[in-house]
């Protein structure tokens, strides 16, 4: 049977678009946020031609307007492993393990995303996916009740499950199937204003942790935010209140820099939404739930193990100088600490590269294309760079940061301090629930960097001579 399949990259691009359209209708403030980001990005590109040129060289300028991530929280191992299969249809693999329990959030997580640079270029859409750790509910009766409620729900439509199986057996989906898959998969991420539980059960779950109520009390894992990528998050943060958006107190992640590293994030506070709760006699009672928000991110260069260790160390130092987590009260002091602590982190790409702190992509220059003759002494990467045959650009960080993620969770869980959970991270248990290992993000950056070097040497005809 000869049949042409739609590429998973295309399915992901369609899905990302459909999700954004749906979220705009569900949360109109997200639309406002998208406009704000588009305005900021346009002004940055106009004011910084060098940055515009860099983004053009790497191709990133094309993905900028479509770039976004989302987040969901699922309740059971079964839901997580099926989610993995559904995301696989869109070319998204689980990358990285994040333990949020030290920050008082009873979940552990991974990011589903494309892993090859060509696929990331086609559509960088990614979903931060958390699994509720029911074992962290202290009250046994409530824990059992939550498990019963979760076991009774089906978050996927029968049709999306059929199409996922078809993808797995055929090795792809036809155009018609792929389009239907996108529509069907979208249902899982929809908001439902009717809870599956009574107001009393909801209050009990909420009393344990707001997040537990968010996961357990609804028909499915509604997308809780979508995040466009900005080129200047400080400008975006300043612009939010001007457009009537209540912004989070501090920007998570590293301080502002000339050469951005990793990821900086800010968000607007979750909205209070009306919900109808079930009751025994078939009537329903009205209440509210607060979960869905909008976020903005700025991405910088991916760091090596060495760079990441330095980042973690400097971030810890900055945080140890304030009491508790950053909040409205200490925001200015905290940002000042960050600036001071990160003064020792090199802030130009040449030094980041020389010191092995960050990953880069290599490109053949005009001079290289015009004629590399392979003269002696020119044939190692470093000297090819020094002699101008090869240039390099920062490789973008595609993942998340656990301390930042905890800050994002918390800003939307109310300002009440959350207790830390005295449990260990459990990547093994997470992978068991997922039904597969998560990929190591550093290995992925390493491979992309290596491929770009190999391509340059190939193009110069220098491969094999090194």
Tell me the window of 23-31, 366-374, 399-407, 442-450 that interacts with ligand OOG (CB under 6 A): 399-407
Comparison of 262 and 301: residue with beta carbon closer to ligand OOG = 262
CA separation for the pair 71, 93 (Å, rounded): 15
Q: Which single residue is written with the structure tokens 């391509």?
A: 455
Tell me the window of 150-158, 167-175, 405-413, 446-454 that interacts with ligand OOG (CB under 6 A): 405-413
Asked if 430 touches ligand OOG (CB under 6 A), the answer is no
Tell me the window of 326-334, 371-379, 403-411, 415-423 that interacts with ligand OOG (CB under 6 A): 403-411
The closest alpha carbon to 125, from 93, 157, 97, belongs to 93
Q: Going by C-beta distance under 8 Å and a sequence separation of 6 or more, which residues neighbour residue 354?
A: none
Binding partner selected for residue 405 from Ni ion, ligand OOG, none, CB under the kind-specific 5 to 8 Å limit: ligand OOG
Applying the rule CB under 6 A, the residues between 125 and 164 that interact with ligand OOG are 128, 130
| CB of 413 vs Ni ion, minimal distance in Å | 14
Report the residue from 342, 400, 421, 445 that binds ligand OOG according to the rule CB under 6 A. Answer: 400
CA separation for the pair 90, 5 (Å, rounded): 12
Backbone angles phi, psi at 271, to 5 degrees: -90, 150
Using CA of residue 136, residue 225, residue 409, residue 269, what is the dihedral sign?
Answer: negative
Asked if 409 touches ligand OOG (CB under 6 A), the answer is yes
CA separation for the pair 342, 434 (Å, rounded): 36
CA separation for the pair 59, 439 (Å, rounded): 25
The closest alpha carbon to 369, from 461, 466, 464, belongs to 461
Tell me the window of 198-206, 351-359, 387-395, 398-406 that interacts with ligand OOG (CB under 6 A): 398-406
Report the residue from 12, 68, 73, 108 that binds ligand OOG according to the rule CB under 6 A. Answer: 73
Comparison of 220 and 368: residue with beta carbon closer to ligand OOG = 220
Asked if 408 touches ligand OOG (CB under 6 A), the answer is yes
| CB of 223 vs ligand OOG, minimal distance in Å | 9
The packing angle between helices 8-26 and 28-47, to 10°, is: 120
Tell me the window of 22-30, 321-329, 397-405, 453-461 that interacts with ligand OOG (CB under 6 A): 397-405
Comparison of 239 and 295: residue with beta carbon closer to Ni ion = 295
Answer whether 395's CB lies under 8 Å from 359's CB: yes
Answer whether 228's CB lies under 8 Å from 48's CB: no
- For residue 407, the tally of other CB atoms under 10 A from its CB is 24
Report residue 97 as tokens. 């393990």
Tell me the window of 82-90, 135-143, 200-208, 221-229 that interacts with Ni ion (CB under 5 A): 221-229
Binding partner selected for residue 98 from Ni ion, ligand OOG, none, CB under the kind-specific 5 to 8 Å limit: none
Report the residue from 71, 262, 270, 310 that binds ligand OOG according to the rule CB under 6 A. Answer: 71
| CB of 150 vs ligand OOG, minimal distance in Å | 17
Asked if 93 touches ligand OOG (CB under 6 A), the answer is no
Tell me the window of 21-29, 63-71, 177-185, 241-249 that interacts with Ni ion (CB under 5 A): 63-71
H or E element at residue 362: strand 360-364
Applying the rule CB under 6 A, the residues between 281 and 320 that interact with ligand OOG are 295
Report residue 36 as tokens. 């704000």
User: What is residue 69's three-state secondary structure?
Assistant: strand
Asked if 295 touches Ni ion (CB under 5 A), the answer is yes
Backbone angles phi, psi at 7, to 5 degrees: -70, 145
Report the residue from 83, 134, 223, 405 that binds ligand OOG according to the rule CB under 6 A. Answer: 405
CA of 336: how far to CAs of 239, 262, 297, 331, 332, in Å? 20, 19, 20, 9, 6
Taking the mean position of all CA atoms in its chain, how far away is CA 380?
A: 36
| CB of 123 vs Ni ion, minimal distance in Å | 17
Answer whether 445's CB lies under 8 Å from 399's CB: no
| CB of 69 vs Ni ion, minimal distance in Å | 6
Report the residue from 16, 164, 404, 448 that binds ligand OOG according to the rule CB under 6 A. Answer: 404
Report the residue from 224, 230, 411, 418 that binds ligand OOG according to the rule CB under 6 A. Answer: 224
Comparison of 210 and 248: residue with beta carbon closer to Ni ion = 248
CA of 246: how far to CAs of 142, 320, 446, in Å? 34, 27, 39
Total chain residues near Ni ion (CB under 5 A): 3
CA separation for the pair 178, 245 (Å, rounded): 37
Report residue 447 as tokens. 């491979």
Q: Which residue is nearest to ligand OOG (CB)?
A: 405
Applying CB under 6 A, the residues found at the interface with ligand OOG are: 71, 73, 128, 130, 224, 265, 295, 400, 404-405, 408-409
């Amino acid at each position: 049977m000869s049949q042409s399949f739609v590429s998973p990259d295309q399915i992901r691009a369609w899905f990302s678009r459909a999700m954004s359209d749906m979220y705009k209708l569900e949360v109109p403030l997200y639309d406002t946020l998208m406009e704000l980001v588009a305005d900021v990005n346009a002004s940055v590109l106009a004011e910084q031609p060098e940055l515009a040129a860099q983004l053009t060289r790497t191709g990133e300028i094309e993905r900028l307007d479509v770039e976004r991530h989302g987040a969901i929280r699922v309740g059971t191992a079964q839901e997580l492993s099926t989610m993995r299969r559904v995301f696989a249809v869109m070319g998204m693999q689980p990358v990285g393990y994040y333990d949020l329990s030290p920050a008082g959030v009873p979940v552990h997580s991974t990011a589903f995303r494309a892993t090859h640079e060509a696929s990331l270029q086609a559509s960088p859409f990614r979903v931060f996916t958390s699994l509720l750790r029911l074992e962290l509910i202290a009250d046994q009766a409530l824990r059992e009740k939550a498990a019963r409620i979760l076991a009774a729900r089906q978050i996927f439509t029968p049709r999306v499950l059929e199409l996922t199986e078809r993808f797995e057996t055929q090795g792809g989906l036809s155009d018609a199937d792929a389009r239907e898959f996108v529509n069907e998969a979208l249902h899982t991420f929809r908001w439902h204003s009717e809870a599956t539980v009574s107001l009393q059960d909801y209050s009990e779950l909420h009393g344990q942790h707001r997040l537990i109520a968010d996961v357990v009390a609804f028909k499915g894992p509604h997308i809780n935010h979508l995040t466009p990528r900005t080129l200047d998050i400080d400008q975006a943060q300043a612009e939010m209140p001007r457009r009537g958006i209540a912004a989070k107190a501090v920007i998570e992640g590293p301080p502002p820099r000339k050469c951005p590293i990793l990821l900086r994030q800010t968000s607007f506070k979750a909205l209070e939404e009306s919900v109808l709760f079930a009751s025994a006699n078939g009537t329903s009672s009205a209440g509210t739930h607060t979960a869905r928000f909008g976020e903005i991110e700025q991405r910088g260069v991916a760091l090596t193990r060495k760079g990441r260790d330095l980042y973690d160390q400097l971030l810890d130092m900055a945080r140890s100088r304030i009491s508790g987590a950053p909040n409205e009260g200490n925001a200015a002091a905290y940002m000042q600490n960050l600036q001071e602590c990160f003064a020792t982190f090199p802030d130009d790409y040449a030094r980041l590269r020389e010191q092995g702190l960050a990953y880069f992509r290599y490109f053949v220059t005009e001079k290289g294309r015009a004629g590399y003759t392979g003269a002696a002494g020119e044939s190692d990467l470093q000297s090819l760079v020094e002699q101008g045959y090869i240039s390099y650009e920062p490789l973008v960080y595609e993942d998340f940061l656990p301390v930042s993620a905890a800050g994002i969770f918390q800003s939307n869980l109310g300002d009440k301090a959350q207790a830390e959970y005295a449990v260990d991270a459990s990547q093994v248990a997470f992978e068991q629930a997922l039904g597969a290992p998560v990929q190591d993000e550093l290995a992925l950056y390493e491979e992309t960097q290596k491929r770009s070097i190999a391509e340059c040497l190939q193009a110069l005809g220098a491969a094999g001579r090194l």
